[in-house]
Structure formats: structure tokens, C-alpha cells
Amino acid sequence: MALSKRLAQVGRECVACGTCVKVCPRTAIRVASGVTARVNGALCVGCGRCAKVCPADVIDMVERGAGA
């Protein structure tokens, strides 16, 4: 399966609330060690759902290969 061009990227201001984890259809985003959310680039399909629901607005959708 081809990877989407977009990828979710979590900023440092993540408050580890877990909201993004609940909406991801691919289980591509997880809160690591209760500190910050991390995206598994191999699973993320770039749907942007996590970015829409993040209460802290710290998720950006970035182009793959653009230093992400």
C-alpha cells in the first residue's frame, strides 16, 4: 500500500491527553511514556483526524520527506 503524502507531526507542547489516540483509525498515534504523543509514520494515512481534535492544537499535517 502506498503511503499518503501527508503525515501527522506532534509538537513539543503536547499535553499527553490521549484525545488523538482515540480518533486515529490506524492506531498510528500513541502517547509514549505518558509524556508526549508519537506518530508511527508507517501506519499514519494522513487523514488529519488527530490534528482536528487535539485540544492543544499541537498536531501539524506535514509533507512526507520534508524533514518530518
Q: In the set 9, 38, 56, 68, which binds ligand SF4 (CB under 6 A)? A: 56
DSSP single-letter state for residue 34: T
C-beta of 57: minimal distance to ligand SF4 in Å?
Answer: 8
Q: Are 5 and 44 in contact (CB under 8 A)?
A: no
**Judged by CB under 6 A, does residue 62 bind ligand SF4?**
no
Q: What's the grid cell of residue 32?
A: 509514549
Residue 17 or 68 with smaller CB distance to ligand SF4: 17
Q: What distance separates the 2 farthest-apart alpha carbons in the chain?
A: 32
Q: Are 44 and 29 in contact (CB under 8 A)?
A: yes
Interface residues for ligand SF4 in 10-49 (CB under 6 A)? 10, 14-20, 23-24, 26, 28-29, 31, 37, 39, 44-49
The backbone torsions φ and ψ at residue 38, rounded to the nearest 5 degrees and listed phi first, read -130, 145
Binding site for ligand SF4 (CB under 6 A): 8, 10, 14-20, 23-24, 26, 28-29, 31, 37, 39, 44-50, 54, 56, 58-59
